[in-house]
Amino acid sequence: MSILVLSVSHKTAPVDLLARATMDAATASRLAGGLTGGEHIDEAIVLSTCNRTEVYAHVSRFHHSLEDITGRVAEATGLAPATLQRHCSVFYDEAAVGHLFNVTSGLDSMVVGESQILGQVKDSLSRAQEAGTVGPQLNALFQHGLRVGKRIQSDTEVGRAGQSLMTAALDELYQQGIQLTGQRVVIVGAGSMAALSAHTLAGFGVDLTLVNRTYERAEQLARVVGGTALPMDRLDAALAGADILVTCTGARGTVVTAEQVRESALAAVIDLALPADVEVDAARYAPLITIGLLMERDTDHSTAAQLRDAQKLVADETRNFVAGRRASQVKPTVVALRTMAREVVDAEMARLAGLTPAMAESDRAEVAKTVHRIVEKLLHQPTVRVQEFARSEQEVDYAAALRDLFALDADRVREVLDPASGDPACHPASPQVSRAAQAVSRVPVAEVVE
């Protein structure tokens, strides 16, 4: 079993296609459920944000699983499979681990170092856990990825200097000579991006109004940031007295028309939604800052040295995780070997009991203890070393070598596996990783499937 990732992101797709690929939570959960119901995928997590839609899967067959994922994503998004293939990247095994760690660290974000992605990854994992589409393999991977992301944010300069998407948008305002202090700002939406925007703007001393279809959510956010909440049917009234509009809803259609922007005489509009909330013609009446515009700007303010520090940390964490995963694959074989050794000792002690019925029980117990100690000492160093060897990057199946050396049959090893335990070692990966699959770990899907 191996880890496979299919990714559509701001690095591979234009804004309009990325918007079509974006999924709400319900669609993402249905997609993950459909994937795990197939023959070759036993775990799946779908991560969908305004900048990326990605499927993480634990798979038994590379090409069959890739075809299944591609087809189901195309079906869920309405994109033609050929179009999707041209704008996807695929990551496999170690490259898949490294990709997730780069994502959680904000190093793969449109605005390098932004921290919002951590919450989005955590939410995608929680949804998969609730839906039952994640098991020990992806759970261990995502938990480790979240820890890596937190380390980047707390231990490196890129984490502290990294900007959120909202901060990048505010930079655009400053470049256009628009100041924030004292401005009246309307935020449409009450999700994670809206909350981030509200908290960011509150620090600039603006007058905030929160508008959302679900009034209770707007009211809750307004209480936290010290703003005013209004229901969506009061949007025109809110705009009438506003200077700046920020939109970040999950709506599929237009939320704010160009005519509304014209009538409101806004100083600026920031649209951070995918698909866009604001009609593109609104740019005729006010500066319109969109995700597409931000993608065209160089928003990376981190120095090369800061980036190198963060990238090295991610690379080290990737190697450590992959090494631990390789070592865990040997664990069931080691347990089976020790179990077999105990059974041999028990059988020999039973035979000895038949040959020496007059032996005192205390003497028999001492003999048993001594024999067990001898066996444990003989097995200790080989089993420790084989787990150490398994952590290396050599393409050797140490578990198979151990089975062959001690004549362990597959049934004995399978008896050790307990999928319900939640131990990553309970699902050993395929002994041989295809060199061809490794070679295509970072190429577009079209090149993989052809």
pLDDT of 447 over the 50 cut: no
Classify residue 292: in a domain, yes or no: yes
Classify residue 304: in a domain, yes or no: no
Q: Which one of 50, 88, 248, 426 is the catalytic residue?
A: 50
Q: If DSSP states are collapsed to H, E and C, what string results for the chain?
A: CEEEEEEEECCCCCHHHHHHHCCCHHHHHHHHHHHHCCCCEEEEEEEECCCEEEEEEEECCHHHHHHHHHHHHHHHHCCCHHHHHHCCEEEECHHHHHHHHHHHCCCCCCCCCCCHHHHHHHHHHHHHHHHCCCCHHHHHHHHHHHHHHHHHHHHCHHHHHCCCHHHHHHHHHHHCCCCCCCCEEEEECCCHHHHHHHHHHHCCCCEEEEEECCHHHHHHHHHHHCCEEEEHHHHHHHHHCCCEEEECCCCCCCCECHHHHHHHCCCEEEECCCCCCECHHHHHCCCEEEHHHHHHCCCCCCCHHHHHHHHHHHHHHHHHHHHHHHHHHHHHHHHHHHHHHHHHHHHHHHHHHHHCCCCCHHHHHHHHHHHHHHHHHHHHHHHHHHHHHHCCCCCCCHHHHHHHHCCCCHHHHHHHCCHHHCCHHHCCCCCCCCHHHHHCCCCEHHHHHC
pLDDT of 100 over the 90 cut: yes
**Structural domain count of the chain:** 3
Provide, rounded to the nearest whole percent, the portion of the chain with pLDDT above 90: 43
Classify residue 322: in a domain, yes or no: no
Give mean pLDDT, residues 311-330. Answer: 83
Residue 395's pLDDT is 61
Give mean pLDDT, residues 161-187. Answer: 83
pLDDT of 361 over the 70 cut: yes
Give mean pLDDT, residues 10-25. Answer: 87
Mean pLDDT lowest among 20-24, 129-133, 357-361, 440-444: 440-444
Residue 384's pLDDT is 77
- State the chain's mean pLDDT as an integer: 83
Residue 50: give its domain's CATH number: 3.30.460.30
Classify residue 301: in a domain, yes or no: no
Provide, rounded to the nearest whole percent, the portion of the chain with pLDDT above 70: 83
Same domain, yes or no: 23 and 140: yes
Q: Which domain holds residue 88?
A: 2-162+437-449
Residue 207: give its domain's CATH number: 3.40.50.720
Same domain, yes or no: 50 and 144: yes
Q: What is the pLDDT of residues 377-425, one digit of tens each?
A: 888 887 777 776 766 655 666 667 767 767 676 665 666 554 443 343 3
Same domain, yes or no: 157 and 57: yes
426 is catalytic: no
Give mean pLDDT, residues 313-331. Answer: 82
Mean pLDDT lowest among 160-164, 217-221, 364-368, 407-411: 160-164
Confidence of residue 443 (pLDDT cuts 50, 70, 90): very low
Residue 128's pLDDT is 96
Classify residue 216: in a domain, yes or no: yes
Same domain, yes or no: 107 and 16: yes
Q: What is the pLDDT of residues 51-83, one digit of tens each?
A: 899 999 999 889 999 999 999 999 999 999 999
Confidence of residue 163 (pLDDT cuts 50, 70, 90): low
Q: What is the pLDDT of residues 244-285, one digit of tens each?
A: 999 988 777 899 999 999 999 999 999 988 788 999 999 999
Give mean pLDDT, residues 342-364. Answer: 90
How many of the other CB atoms lie within 10 Å of CB of 268? 20
